[in-house]
Amino acid sequence: MNFTSPRRRFAQAAVAGLALTGLLTACGGSDSGEGAKSSGPVTLPFWGWANGQEAVVKAFNASHKDVKLKYTKVTDQLTMQKQLTNAVKAGNAPCLVQNTAEYVTSWVSQGALADISQYVDASKDKFNAGSWASAQVQGKSYGVPTSSAPNFTIYRTDIFTKYGVKPPTTWDEFIAAGKVLKKHGVKITNYAGEDPSTLEVLAMQAGAHWYSIDGNSWKVDFQDAGTLKAAKVIQEIIDNDLNSKLSFADYAAVQRNYDNGGTATRQISTWQMAGMVQNFTKSFGEWALSPWPTFQGEAAKTPAGTNLTGSVTLVTKQCKYVEQAAEAALWMSTDTGAVKTMASPTTGNGVMPALKNSNSYVADAISDKLLGKNYEPAQKIVTDSLGTVTTDWTFGPDWTAMFTEMQAGWAKVVNKQQKVTDLLAHMQEWTVKDLKSRGISVEG
């Protein structure tokens, strides 16, 4: 599956619904004051990493006289967290930062973000519900969503045809197809040892809730029925050697493997196609889309998103011009030209907009070069997947630390040094202990 890339992975998911105060912070509140007013032009520092943002900033500056954006390109998602941590501590955080949903709760708990509800909530109906929730905590808005996350399978039609395999509609069929392909030296998927997002998104799809609110406490459950259902699928794929084990540390090698037919499918979103187009030389036109596999007997349901899909533009509390920053964030997510720039895999990252009505951007967000004759039917696959996205996943206040711990255990899972259930048992114990060490009320 492998959602990690040089631009890092992660997610749009619902963080809304945390209705109780005090659940996030062991270190002060997260309310922000009023934004400062300015009688003249203001400059808003903006940090991001996504392709296309520089063009969007240029368009914003050309169309605004009193507010200007000053853009700094950060290497990737992980670098962003480190640099933002240092800037917040030094008291010189930028006004606007690109980020993704799993980090929002953590940044709010540190008191780093401004509550911009009064400036953006009137625009709520312009966005789809899942995307809007990705920038909220405890019913307050701390940013504006920039993209949503249609998820689906992309597969090699020539390999499937050659070996008589049909596009899997369920995870059981996915495993069965993998066993057929294995006989011919082809892996059906790739699990990178550094990337446990595979486990995260399948658990999300299966109805798991690793973090939730119970009364006045956080509840942690890495061993619920949904997670165990996901673990069973992953374990069977690993036990039967149906997966490649290529690290995205060598991104080009992973792409060559797909291009050369060593691995036949990926569960992805629109933006990953850009990397495929940029790195492939042999297999253009041989790829097609099919829906994300379901669990046997269940209706279509796709995870709420991964990677830089599901991005948000956050406003920091240290910004002197909160109102202008909020309005700039809204412009970047709603201006037709800006949205089209980011949606295109050529000018941007091929990300689907967070807007409620985004079907018109599907054609721009997928690659006809990659899909060839399969380009037209692929558009319906993408559009349909937008209607089955999970909206009830909550990211916990220690998500970054938790995911780092999970990475170490996931590497052992991929290398058959422990079972998925062993990792889950460890994460249950570790996460409860970690939250308690932060002074956060928790049960589990």
Alpha helices in 64-116 (DSSP H): 77-90, 101-109
Task: Give the whole-angstrom CA distance, residue 193 versus residue 244.
Answer: 10
Q: How many other C-beta atoms are found inside a 10 Å radius of the C-beta of residue 298?
A: 13
Pairing of strands 243-244, 189-190: parallel
Task: Give the whole-angstrom CA distance, residue 42 versus residue 335.
Answer: 20
Task: Give the whole-angstrom CA distance, residue 128 versus residue 333.
Answer: 12
- pTM for this predicted structure: 0.81
- From 387, 147, 167, select the one nearest 270 (Cα to Cα): 147
Using alpha carbons, list the distances in angstroms from residue 290 to 90, 157, 287. Answer: 48, 11, 10
Q: How many other C-beta atoms are found inside a 10 Å radius of the C-beta of residue 408?
A: 13
Angle at 238 between CA 235 and CA 244, to 5 degrees: 145
Residue 85 phi, psi (nearest 5):
-60, -50
Residue 303, token pair as written in the block: 């995870």
Strands in 76-122 per DSSP E: 96-100
Task: Give the whole-angstrom CA distance, residue 329 versus residue 371.
Answer: 33
The pLDDT tens digits along the chain (444 residues) read: 444 433 333 333 333 334 334 555 544 333 444 445 555 689 999 999 998 999 999 999 999 999 999 999 999 888 999 999 999 999 999 999 999 888 898 899 889 999 999 999 999 999 987 788 889 887 899 999 998 877 899 999 999 999 999 999 999 999 999 999 999 999 999 999 999 999 999 999 999 999 988 888 999 999 999 999 999 999 999 999 999 999 999 999 999 999 999 999 999 888 788 889 989 999 999 999 999 999 988 877 666 554 334 689 999 999 999 999 999 999 999 999 999 999 887 888 777 899 988 888 888 888 899 999 999 999 999 988 877 666 678 888 898 899 999 999 999 999 999 999 999 999 999 999 999 999 999 987
